[in-house]
Structure 1
């Protein structure tokens, strides 16, 4: 995931490249696990992405005005289905009630659902219990005829305590940055927890099972039906993306891009999953650091290029990260406070009263929204003709 979704209240952190360089030094082979489950995912089409999706993240919200609400959720899902022309939505985040209500509403609107419960900084057993309860709801939807996949989680090394030393996400990032991590031990613990999560998922859900990994994480994909990768690479040539992605096809399983996207400023794609790190949240109100130049065109061009690559490869699913970041409002009147500039969202929240933290707000589509909508709609037309 974009690290900003959990570590947005602190400047600094470890880059994905730093983490992966250290983790890659471990050199241990990926262990082999139990094969598959009871319901293998269907193979991808020869051309085009089967599930054209967007990540819809559920969080408590920093203020009452940005907290999850059923009214806003229903309106957002209507826009995802009708205006974005998505045929799928990734419902992710925490809170079983929020997750299940949103998944049920998405099914009612005819959307495929990739349901991914995530908890941050909670004990491992609580994370597994949260997964089990959400997974039972996914199974109920599946039995009623819904098209639903269950993901057991996202980048466990970052979110789940006990794998990397540190009580919080920020502590774990600092330890990774400082190099005070035994990467052999980390991989062993990551493997063990991933296997436990897969077993819990299998115990409650009979449909296709997946997991969202960082693109160079070592995962035993024999545990899952779908390979899921959070993809934030930037290359000057499309062929480099194809080469990077092909290695995830060696498992002979459908490949889902469980996150892809960038922020709305020049140069953001080159920052990968760290594009959010141009905000100083120690200031009140938070401020943009440096002089990044807002560019919705940059964001739109990046997601367009990647989606074209995914379609050419015939990948199973592509989930743009993300639909909305309610706590990162757009401020056209004050570029220093334009937090949406550092957001991966494809719509921008705009407050009625920009300086009032409790102000009501609405969202407007960014150029990336329109770029995805054109491609999602075009693909539907192509399949019908």
Structure 2
């Protein structure tokens, strides 16, 4: 089943940012202390990257099986990741990508993420992807299955509004009954977990927002706790303090997303770094005069990995490998949408387009290679 109504993760984050829900309060700039090499080797069990399989917003950036296969090879052989988080919409795209990753010997975190379609279609997609994940598992692949991502905004009916943007507007207007929303969220999460359990017999998970007061999850339904994490602190002990709350369930903790954009000050925005794009204009353009800094993005990723390694977490997947619809235009900064991208590669708008690695790609590759 193909879903053509899904939205990109980037657009979702923008909506969450507008509602004041993404990330934590920014603190002054700083860099976490590096963990020792001994800690890194005994730290994370799985180190990877998020690979989104959306349809693409234009014909030029449409999903391509050939490009996906090249990217998966790069993720294994050049990024040196052992894990790929296959996410997005479109069961066909999700399953063929997961199969390619399995063939390449990667650990798979398979996570359908659909928005603005009826609840039944979302549950059907979870079932289809879960059945495929189970087939991969039975054939010897290393695979975890996540039933979805932050249902409170993606799934219609939990927050009033036909679309994500409608639901964001309702949040902004303060018209949402939060207690009722959380009850609806809990009911749907339980349904999704039950569907996942019925078809997949490996480790089951879900990717939740990091703010437990907003999105409380009954983690007894899952085997692995998944958190999308975009906090920023000066002191690394504050990351540990915040993340330790998620360990009280006595279950493995996976960081299902972490990252920032490539400009000065982006980490301090705590998940809202890409909110520098004015989407009311055509073509979209960058607001203000942010200073591009790939080093800033790379340093933030390394700081968080140091923390995750020191805590011996189950997995961490950097968000994300590529954002095709955020082209890098170095000669025209006003339209350099890659400034607002969390990707570790930058799309170059040639014909056909291609990507080039950012400093974050090289930093991750060095770290991941050293941990193999």
Q: TM-score w.r.t. structure 2 length?
A: 0.91
Q: Residues 27-106 of structure 1: matches in 2 within 5 Å? A: 47-106=42-101
Give, in whole Å, the separation in 1 of the partners of 2:239 and 2:365.
22
- Say which SS state the counterpart of residue 274 (structure 1) adopts: coil
| 1:236 Cα deviation after fit | 0.3
CA deviations 1:200-242 (Å, max 9, x no partner) are: 0000000000000001221000000000000000000100000
Is 1:364 paired with 2:359? Answer: no
- 1:204 is aligned, of 188, 196, 199, to 199
- Say which SS state the counterpart of residue 119 (structure 1) adopts: coil
CA contact 2:23–2:210 (8 Å) conserved in 1: no
- 1:148 is aligned, of 136, 143, 149, to 143
Is 1:5 paired with 2:10? Answer: yes
Residues 9, 275 of structure 1: CA spacing in aligned structure 2 closer, same or farther, 3 A cutoff?
A: closer
What corresponds to 2:284 in structure 1?
286
| 1:277 Cα deviation after fit | 0.9
Give, in whole Å, the separation in 1 of the partners of 2:312 and 2:341.
28
Give, in whole Å, the separation in 2 of the partners of 1:184 and 1:62.
36
Give, in whole Å, the separation in 2 of the partners of 1:151 and 1:199.
12
- 1:132 is aligned, of 117, 121, 127, to 127
- 2:326 is aligned, of 321, 325, 328, to 328
Residues 46, 345 of structure 1: CA spacing in aligned structure 2 closer, same or farther, 3 A cutoff?
A: closer
| 1:3 Cα deviation after fit | 8.6
Give, in whole Å, the separation in 1 of the partners of 2:81 and 2:41.
19
What corresponds to 2:32 in structure 1?
none
Q: Which runs of 4+ in 1 moved over 6 A?
A: 8-12
CA contact 1:264–1:343 (8 Å) conserved in 2: yes
- Say which SS state the counterpart of residue 271 (structure 2) adopts: helix
Give, in whole Å, the separation in 2 of the partners of 1:271 and 1:75.
33
| 1:12 Cα deviation after fit | 7.1
Give, in whole Å, the separation in 1 of the partners of 2:148 and 2:12.
17
Q: Residues 113-262 of structure 1: matches in 2 within 5 Å? A: 113-216=108-211, 217-262=215-260
Give, in whole Å, the separation in 2 of the partners of 1:295 and 1:174.
32
Give, in whole Å, the separation in 2 of the partners of 1:145 and 1:4.
30
What corresponds to 1:375 in structure 2?
367
What corresponds to 2:307 in structure 1?
309
| 1:351 Cα deviation after fit | 1.3
What corresponds to 2:295 in structure 1?
297
Aligned pairs, number: 349
Give 5+ residue unaligned stretches, structure 1.
Answer: 21-44, 353-358, 381-385
Give, in whole Å, the separation in 2 of the partners of 1:333 and 1:240.
39
Residues 12, 80 of structure 1: CA spacing in aligned structure 2 closer, same or farther, 3 A cutoff?
A: closer
CA deviations 1:11-48 (Å, max 9, x no partner) are: 9721226999xxxxxxxxxxxxxxxxxxxxxxxx9931
Residues 10, 282 of structure 1: CA spacing in aligned structure 2 closer, same or farther, 3 A cutoff?
A: farther
| 1:118 Cα deviation after fit | 1.2
Q: TM-score w.r.t. structure 1 length?
A: 0.88
- Say which SS state the counterpart of residue 52 (structure 1) adopts: strand
Give, in whole Å, the separation in 1 of the partners of 2:320 and 2:71.
12
Give, in whole Å, the separation in 1 of the partners of 2:158 and 2:332.
41
Give 5+ residue unaligned stretches, structure 2.
Answer: 1-6, 26-39
What corresponds to 2:273 in structure 1?
275
CA contact 2:8–2:54 (8 Å) conserved in 1: no
CA RMSD, 1 decimal = 1.9
| 1:92 Cα deviation after fit | 0.2
Residues 176, 157 of structure 1: CA spacing in aligned structure 2 closer, same or farther, 3 A cutoff?
A: same
Residues 141, 167 of structure 1: CA spacing in aligned structure 2 closer, same or farther, 3 A cutoff?
A: same
| 1:6 Cα deviation after fit | 2.8
CA deviations 1:305-333 (Å, max 9, x no partner) are: 00011011100000100000000000011
- 2:264 is aligned, of 257, 263, 266, to 266
Give, in whole Å, the separation in 1 of the partners of 2:250 and 2:183.
24
| 1:246 Cα deviation after fit | 0.5
| 1:292 Cα deviation after fit | 1.0
CA contact 2:14–2:274 (8 Å) conserved in 1: no
Give, in whole Å, the separation in 1 of the partners of 2:14 and 2:71.
26
Give, in whole Å, the separation in 1 of the partners of 2:44 and 2:54.
28
